[in-house]
A and B are shown apart, each in its own frame.
Chain A
Amino acid sequence: MKAIIHIELKPGVLDPQGRTIARSLAHLGFGDVKGARQGKTIELDLNTEDKKIAQAQVKEMCEQLLANTVIENYHIKITE
């Protein structure tokens, strides 16, 4: 099974990298870009076939290491 984890800065936390990306896109002429937020994606190969167990394990991984919940939110997607 695979877990795809998306980690993003919480709303309200300043994201200078996202802001710079948005500015650069505007310079390129993409005038419709109102803002950008940069996050990261982590893909895990898991040794279990039980979706529920996988979900619980990955949540624990996010809490313990993968995300810093002071400034980051995470979303988990479990796939076959």
Chain B
Amino acid sequence: METAVIVFPASNCERDACVALERVTGKKPHRVWHGDTELPKVDFVIIPGGFSYGDYLRSGAIAARSPIVQDIVKKAKTGLPVAGFCNGFQILTEAGLLPGVLMRNKGLRFICKPQTLKITNSRSMFTKAYGDKREITVPIAHFDGNYFADKPTLEKLESSGQIVFKYVGNPNGSAHDIAGICNEAGNVLGMMPHPERAIDPLHGGTDGTAFFKSILEARA
């Protein structure tokens, strides 16, 4: 499986994403600069965490208008699997690939800790390899993770199984405890937690590994 990790000015999780992908796929991912206009031929794209463009204007707002994201939007609409973690989730909402918006944490604090999540859609291409496991623990590290969408959108997300992860003990005020959602087609996922930071026993846990295995199995 060929993969790509997008790099923006002030991304800071692209290395972790590359290591996680290489461990699971056995192949080095392409690192793609935000100014490029076209993705290489790949089966899966990660938009990593960080503080793209210094979070200027709104988190993810400027990155969402960069040349490479226009190509990602185009290809995601024809089925290319894309996942965004943390700032990557913010970029996907700003780019219009996912509904809603990530606002400042309710408690006005940057939160950095291991977080337990409930897998609320175990059939998605991002969670299948978790099998019967329904709770996982992966790190969160964000200031703007408070998911917001209007009532009809939230109801639709709930009824269509688009909510993939929910927080156990809501840390940031997110509506419906939402930690991660996918689009209607199921090929674009955004989540605030960092599965790429939980792939080695030295990380304190390996609950992130099955996330990447799921995609590998789905694309095999």
Contacts and interface: CB of A to CB of B under 8 A. Distances in A.
Interface stretch (B30-38, B97-105, B209-217): B97-105
Interface of B: 57-58, 61, 65, 94, 100-101, 103-108, 146, 148-150, 173
Given A16-B173, A70-B149, 6 more contacts: A13-B103, A14-B146, A17-B108, A66-B57, A70-B148, A70-B150
A70 B100 contact: yes
Contacts of A20: 108
A68 interface: yes
Interface residues of A, number: 11
Given A65-B65, A70-B149, A71-B148, A17 B104 contact: yes
A14 B61 contact: no
A68 B108 contact: no
B218 to A, nearest CB: 30
B148 A16 contact: no
A16 B101 contact: no
17 contacts: A13-B103, A14-B103, A14-B106, A14-B148, A14-B173, A16-B107, A20-B108, A64-B65, A65-B65, A66-B57, A68-B61, A70-B100, A70-B101, A70-B148, A70-B150, A71-B101, A71-B148
Interface centre among A17, A20, A70, A71 (most CB of B within 10 A): A70
